[in-house]
């Protein structure tokens, strides 16, 4: 039977879940997977936490040097997060020839090529299933299940915190602030929620997923990013009436005109499979040139779901001798050889606060026409104190034209404010 | 670069798709996967068909002996189907030490252990991603993505033909016969549709999937099977009113009381992710003890989707040296060591045609009560010529009690007919 010794760096939520799965299921894995996995040591500053989880004192390492010097450790699991010590530790582990399994999306999005170079030098494995969409095996699917395909597009709800917030705004009618507060109370959102609500977390994941999907390194700088802090419940409600559900999507497309990668609030049709993905659930929708549409759905975070992804990687690493290294078409360190679409095309939902008087709608629609933005639906709703709201959806058009149009509209006396600007993907 | 020579046995729809992907994408796979795959030969009686696909005459083999004797062939793709020559050919390929990739669910459901024994003897690989749910990488997910989990349940829409028929009955109001005819016209259903509509195809797939999920060989004889030929559109419409959508589900559960495997028409809640899986799409919902809920969705059939799964296996086989062999807890040849649940519990939807006169409802509900079947909802609808319809949903109860109750009801003068008996899974 194959044996592998594991070290866990960091015993936070995910580290704890990983420790629990590995120790409780040792016999199960021997029987079902034919591998004997032992947790040889852990690295955790909070020794009490380690002891509470049941780690013997002799297995609590005091430094990364101690971990990598341990000849019984074959696989190092990094679940510290961030790009500080985590990067140092992962690099040291790889330099010692240890295979690394990580859940660290930020580290991977920012430093993948360097880490991979270190891994290759020592023929060490580098696994990161847990970095994207928690327990959903999306990385393995891209690497080992969709190889026959050129992936044309990827669309995903890849951040559970924002999906929880948007679900509550849509179904309970809560404001953004109310939904955020509840998400924080439940532990779905951090005290400082920026990484989630401003779309950074989704950007890291989209960078990793689209790099794998398109075989081209997509840096986070290439990803257009817009969070959900500017969303208000009126737009969600108007969208619903028009047949749309609002989601924070990570979207990647590999087209003849170049690669397009963006994270932003998006209206999807109510009958789109992504529309039914609620609360903290995640989902990734792929289109491959052979397989057509595929969607994977599941929990994107949490101790055991993310632990499940980590342990899946540990088992894969223990069983297979060949490690996956990404084979990007472009330079692994940059992306100068890749053409990106900057001025992408999209349909739009727009909401304007305007003066409630004759001729306004005609004037506004004239501005759209003059800028070659073709309208699909227009709706005027009476507001308060001489104001009206105009809700508009457009046909597909270039982003730049919409921006130009909105600037012109903003300059009109009759337009008080552009209150909602949301892309539609259908 | 790793090289692998491929032989394709059978150039039907799936064989043609496989040939197309392998030949058109040879350079792409060299670049993205680091493997050079060549189609060394094909075995196809219809030589014209082979030539039309572009196969050189010198590469059209005339016998399986010629194929297995070819030293350039490493991987044999079997896409003939059935258990006749397909079984002979696959066995011969394995006995020659060739790795086999197959889409043949019937062969695998019926002869997996024997085939695996042959494969092990020669250290040959045996891959079958394409046997279940076409292009959706459900086998790879169970083998390489969910290993950290004990799988508690599997629920799937695993037959596209019946899903197309049920979708049309639900959304277009067509009768079963009308929907079947259209499915045949579109090529979704065979001229003899028995394998699909009577649930045999789904039974083969459920046998394979639940064997993998539960690490126990589940034979097709252990699967309870009921097709959709008895379904009529009235029941679909009444179900819809009550918040349910009808699907042909393959259901597997691994519980303390034993394993439960069944294929039958099933009402799922309208907000169940499976309810939104329409037309010929397939989906599999899994619950793992670590990861929680996961769902995979995509095309279950067709030349390119199934070809995608086959080529994914071919690439995996070419890249990895370690082959997966199932490690079932029970005897691979049988299942005497496994406890199965025969009298499973379920909620029920029932529709009765009864005499429209006073006291009937009370008499009927009395029969349920006497047999310990607890009712959830009851609805009486006036019918024609002194008849009424009673629609009932029950709470969870043993199958045997429902059967006993229905037998008693059938014996009543006031009950003309039991017209619908459909299980509910929510």
Average pLDDT over residues B122-129: 94
Which CATH number is B281's domain given?
Answer: 3.30.360.10
Least CB–CB distance from B305: residue in A292, A295, A298: A292
- The maximal CA–CA distance of chain A, rounded, in angstroms, is 82
A292 and A392, same domain (yes or no): no
Nearest to A258 by CA among A345, A325, A199: A345
Tokens for B226?
A: 């009921």
User: What confidence score (pLDDT) does residue A336 get?
Assistant: 66
pLDDT at B327 over 90: no
Query: Is B290 in contact with A320 (Cβ distance < 8 A)?
Result: no
Instruction: Compute the average pLDDT of residues B137-148.
Output: 95
Task: Classify residue B142: in a domain, yes or no.
Answer: no
Mean pLDDT of B71-97: 97
**Do residues A209 and A286 share a domain?**
yes
The answer to whether the Cβ–Cβ distance between B299 and A291 falls below 8 Å is yes
How many CB pairs (< 8 A) connect A and B?
Answer: 183
Report pLDDT digits (tens) over B356-410: 988 999 999 999 999 999 999 999 998 888 899 999 999 999 999 999 999 999 9
Where is B75: in which H helix or E strand?
strand B75-78
Q: What residues of chain A lie within 8 A of the CB of B320, using their CB?
A: 320, 322
Chain A interface, best mutation among B28, B144, B157, B328, by max A CB count within 10 A: B144
Distance in angstroms (rounded) separating the CA atoms of residues B268 and B225: 18
Q: Nearest-CA residue of chain B relative to A317?
A: B144
For residue B286, the enclosing domain spans 148-298
For residues B17 and B125, state if they share a domain.
yes
The residue among B101, B131, B161 that closes a domain is B131
B389: domain CATH number is: 3.30.70.260
Q: What is the mean pLDDT of chain B?
A: 94
Listed by number, the residues of chain A in 257-286 with a beta carbon closer than 8 Å to a beta carbon of chain B are 271, 273, 276, 281
Both A163 and A293 in one domain: the answer is yes
Q: Give the whole-angstrom CA distance, residue B70 versus residue B39.
A: 12
**B311 is a domain residue:** no
| pLDDT for the residue B143 | 92
Distance CA(B303)–CA(B219), nearest Å, equals: 28
Catalytic residues of B: 205
Q: Using the beta-carbon criterion (under 8 Å), do A290 and B296 form an inter-chain contact?
A: no
Cβ–Cβ < 8 Å for B95, B118: yes
CATH assignment at residue B124 = 3.40.50.720
**B230 and B363 inside one domain:** no
Total domains in the fold of chain A: 3
Pairwise CA distance, residues A269 & A275, whole Å: 7
Q: Report the gap between the CA of B219 and the closest CA in chain A (Å).
A: 19
B400 within domain boundaries: yes
Return residues 53-112 of A near B (CB < 8 Å): none
Q: Which of A233, A267, A299 is the last residue of a domain?
A: A299
The pLDDT tens digits for B241-282 are 999 999 999 999 999 999 999 999 999 999 898 999 999 999
- B393 lies in the same domain as B288: no
Q: What secondary structure, in 3-state letters, does chain A show?
A: CEEEEEEEECCCHHHHHHHHHHHHCHHHHHHHHCEEEEEEEEECCCHHHHHHCCCCHHHEECCHHHHHHCCCCCEEEECCCCCCHHHHHHHHHHHCCCEEEECCHHHHHHHHHHHHHHHHHHCCCEECHHHCCCCCCHHHHHHHHCCCCCEEEEEEECCHHHHHHHHHHHHCCCCHHHHHHHHHHCCCCCCCCHHHHCCHHHHHHHHHHHHHHHCCCCCHHHCEECCCCCCCHHHHHHHHHCCEEEEEEEEEEEECCEEEEEEEEEEEECCCHHHHCCCCEEEEEEEECCCEEEEEEEECCCHHHHHHHHHHHHHHHHHCCCCCCCCCCCCCCCCCCCCECCCCEEEEEEEEEEECCCCHHHHHHHHHHHCCCCEEEEEEEECCCCEEEEEEEECCEEHHHHHHHHHHHHCCCCEEEEEEEEEEEC
Nearest to A148 among B34, B302, B315 (CB): B315
- Residue B247: its pLDDT value, please? 98
The verdict on B254 and B365 lying in the same domain is no
Residue linked to tokens 């939807």: B349
d(CA B193, CA B190): 5
In a shared domain, residues A195 and A126: no
Domain-located, residue B415: yes
Please check whether residue A143 touches B, CB under 8 A.
no
pLDDT band at B108 (very low <50, low <70, confident <90, very high): very high
The residues that bridge with A351 in the sheet, in sequence order, are A391, A420
Nearest CA in chain B to A290: B304
Task: Name the more confident of B321 and A356.
Answer: A356
Least CA distance to B318: which residue of chain A?
A: A322
Specify whether A157 is located in the same domain as A124: no
pLDDT score at B326: 75
Q: Tell me, what's the pLDDT at B342?
A: 84
Q: Which residues of B touch A292 (CB under 8 A)?
A: 135, 298-299, 302, 304-305
Same domain, B76 and B168: no
Tell me if A396 is assigned to some domain.
yes
Q: What's the pTM value of the predicted model, to 2 decimals?
A: 0.94
For residues B60 and B196, state if they share a domain.
Answer: no
In chain A, residues 326-355 whose CB comes closer than 8 Å to chain B:
327, 329
Give the whole-angstrom CA distance, residue A73 versus residue A158.
32
Percent of chain B with pLDDT over 70: 97
Q: Say whether residue A144 is in contact with chain B using an 8 A CB cutoff.
A: yes
Predicted ipTM beyond 0.90: yes
Residues A166 and A219 in one domain: yes
Closest CB from A136, A215, A305 relative to B290 = A305
Look-up: residue for tokens 């043993």? B398
Whole-number pLDDT of residue B337: 73
Count how many Cα atoms sit within 13 Å of the Cα of residue A342 in the half-sphere of its side chain: 2
Question: Does residue A352 lie within any of the structural domains?
Answer: yes
Residue A357 lies in a domain: yes
Neighbours of B241 (CB within 10 A): 9
Asked if the structure places residue A309 within a domain, the reply is: no
Give the CA distances from residue B402 to residues B268, B346, B407, in Å, rounded to whole numbers and listed in that order. 19, 10, 9
Closest residue on chain A to B290 (Cα)? A304
Place of tokens 């009206």: A388
Q: What is the pLDDT along chain A (426 residues), one digit of tens a residue?
A: 899 999 999 999 999 999 999 999 999 999 999 999 999 999 999 999 999 999 999 999 999 999 999 999 999 999 999 999 999 999 999 999 999 999 999 999 999 999 999 999 999 999 999 999 999 999 999 999 999 999 999 999 999 999 999 999 999 999 999 999 999 999 899 999 999 999 999 999 999 999 999 999 999 999 999 999 999 999 999 999 999 999 999 999 999 999 999 999 999 999 898 999 999 999 999 999 999 999 999 998 899 999 999 999 999 999 886 677 776 766 555 556 788 888 899 999 999 999 998 899 999 999 999 999 999 999 999 888 889 999 999 999 999 999 999 999 999 999 999 988 999 998
Last residue of a domain, one of A82, A97, A131: A131
pLDDT at residue B70, rounded to an integer: 98
**pLDDT surpasses 70 at B329:** no
């Amino acid at each position: 039977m194959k044996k592998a010794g594991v070290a866990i760096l960091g015993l936070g939520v995910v580290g704890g879940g990983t420790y629990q799965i590995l120790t409780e299921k040792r016999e199960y894995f021997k029987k079902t997977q034919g591998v004997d996995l032992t947790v040889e040591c852990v690295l955790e500053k909070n020794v009490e936490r380690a002891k509470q989880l049941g780690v013997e004192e002799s297995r609590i390492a005091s430094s990364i040097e101690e971990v990598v010097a341990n000849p019984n450790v074959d696989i190092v699991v990094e679940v510290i997060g961030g790009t500080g010590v985590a990067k140092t530790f992962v690099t040291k582990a790889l330099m010692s020839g240890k295979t690394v399994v990580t859940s660290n999306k930020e580290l991977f999005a920012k430093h993948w090529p360097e880490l991979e170079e270190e891994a290759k030098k020592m023929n060490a494995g580098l696994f990161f299933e847990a970095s994207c969409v928690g327990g959903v095996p999306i990385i393995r699917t891209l690497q080992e299940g969709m190889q026959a395909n050129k992936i044309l597009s990827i669309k995903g709800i890849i951040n559970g915190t924002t999906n929880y917030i948007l679900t509550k705004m849509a179904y309970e009618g809560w404001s953004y602030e109310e939904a955020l507060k509840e998400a924080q109370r439940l532990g779905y959102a951090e005290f400082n929620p920026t990484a989630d609500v401003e779309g950074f977390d989704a950007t890291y994941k989209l960078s990793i997923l689209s790099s794998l999907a398109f075989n081209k390194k997509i840096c986070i700088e290439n990803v257009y990013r817009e969070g959900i802090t500017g969303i208000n419940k009126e737009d969600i409600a108007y969208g619903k009436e028009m047949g749309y559900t609002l989601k924070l999507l990570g979207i990647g497309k590999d087209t003849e005109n170049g690669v397009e990668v963006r994270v932003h609030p998006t209206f999807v049709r109510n009958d789109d499979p992504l529309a039914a993905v609620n609360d903290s659930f995640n989902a990734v929708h792929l289109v491959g040139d052979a397989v057509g549409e595929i969607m994977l759905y599941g929990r994107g975070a949490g101790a055991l779901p993310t632990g499940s992804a980590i342990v899946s990687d540990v088992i894969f690493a223990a069983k297979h001798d060949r490690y996956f290294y990404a084979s990007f078409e472009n330079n692994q360190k940059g992306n100068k050889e890749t053409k990106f679409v900057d001025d992408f095309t999209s349909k739009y939902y727009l909401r304007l606060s305007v003066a409630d008087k004759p001729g306004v709608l005609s004037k506004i629609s004239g501005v759209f026409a003059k800028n070659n933005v073709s309208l699909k639906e227009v709706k005027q709703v009476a507001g308060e104190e001489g104001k009206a709201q105009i809700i508009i959806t457009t046909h597909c058009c270039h982003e730049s034209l919409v921006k130009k149009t909105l600037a012109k509209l903003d300059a009109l006396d009759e337009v008080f404010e552009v209150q909602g600007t949301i892309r539609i993907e259908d």
